[in-house]
A and B are shown apart, each in its own frame.
Chain A
Amino acid sequence: MNNNSKDIRSLLERFYSGEATEAEERELRELLEQTTAEEFETDRLILRGLEQSVKVPDDFEERLSSAIDGWDAAERAAERRRWLLRPVMWRRVAGIAASVALLVGVGMTMSRGTHVDQAEMADASGNHVEAYAATEKALTIFARALNKGMDGVEFAEQVSDKAMSTAMGI
């Protein structure tokens, strides 16, 4: 009995450290079933519980492999999403979109500008007469008034010269 206890303790030590072989596990179970020592009651229950664990299904390996493949695919998809949502990526896209929009806008404005110029030209040709008439009127008023003013200056100068001559002649 004491030897059994000693053997049990030794085997238990190996079992709990994960070093026991299958044969040693079987021997340990047999010894625990044979002994009535209370100190091994807990160990006996543990081994009995392990013995009653669910059997591994035959296709377990196949199912596990397919589950791993699925997890791998999901992780890759998540990685792609993260890459697409990167700020740097969107900044680049926004920059390209802005450049394209700018080019399109410039192109449209240039083509529109031509049409606007044509429309303005058509309208201006009708307004040219008014513009010329207004210019003529403005410049005429300006010139006449200015010349009248200068004529006054000339007259004053003449009068002054005459007065000087008369004064000197005396």
Chain B
Amino acid sequence: MKRIYIIAMLIAMTAMSVSAQAVKFFEKYEDADDVTSVYVSKAILRMMPDISTGDMDFSGVSGKIECIRVLTADRAEIAGKLRTDADKVVKEGKYELLVKVSEGKEKTNIYMKSDKEGMNEYIILNGSPNDFNAILIEGTLTPADVQKMAKKK
């Protein structure tokens, strides 16, 4: 019984450390030069009005998001470094590749991980040779919810 308890604890700790790794990556570059870092908390998201702009409709989405973290690099050197670190996080965190899109020089990969409580974690890596965006979205948002944002007009 004791052994089972210890093993369960180790598994839980491993699971926690993996998500923590993603957060660590974003926090690492928070104060980096030439990197724009944004953290949007649930509190701010709740205050966000239901926006509908152009071909996007964000209504009803903000309530399903716990937080959003964004890192943006506009210089090739730092963009490359960010990309390498982000790939490492995704690989070691065993995120599942959802979508891989390539449009000319711009590439976007979307990764996802879910837990038993229905909390989803998305890592979106988007960029071209001279810039890079790393986005982390946590919440109960599903791929279907995200699809609806673009479909509605």
**Interface set of A (CB-CB < 8 Å, partner B):** 124, 128, 130-132, 134-150
Contacts and interface: CB of A to CB of B under 8 A. Distances in A.
Contact of A145 (B40, B51, B110, B137): B110
B51 A136 contact: yes
Contacts of A134: 38, 40, 68, 70
Main secondary structure of the interface of B (DSSP, over half): strand
B105 to A, nearest CB: 15
Contacts of B99: 145-146, 148-150
Given A130-B38, A142-B146, A147 B70 contact: no
Contacts, number: 82
Nearest to B37: A134
B133 A150 contact: no
Nearest to A130: B38
Interface residues of B, number: 33
B135 interface: yes
A85 B47 CA distance: 59
B140 interface: no
Contacts of B122: 142
A149 B70 contact: no
Contacts of B110: 142, 145-146, 149
Contact of B135 (A128, A142, A146, A150): A142
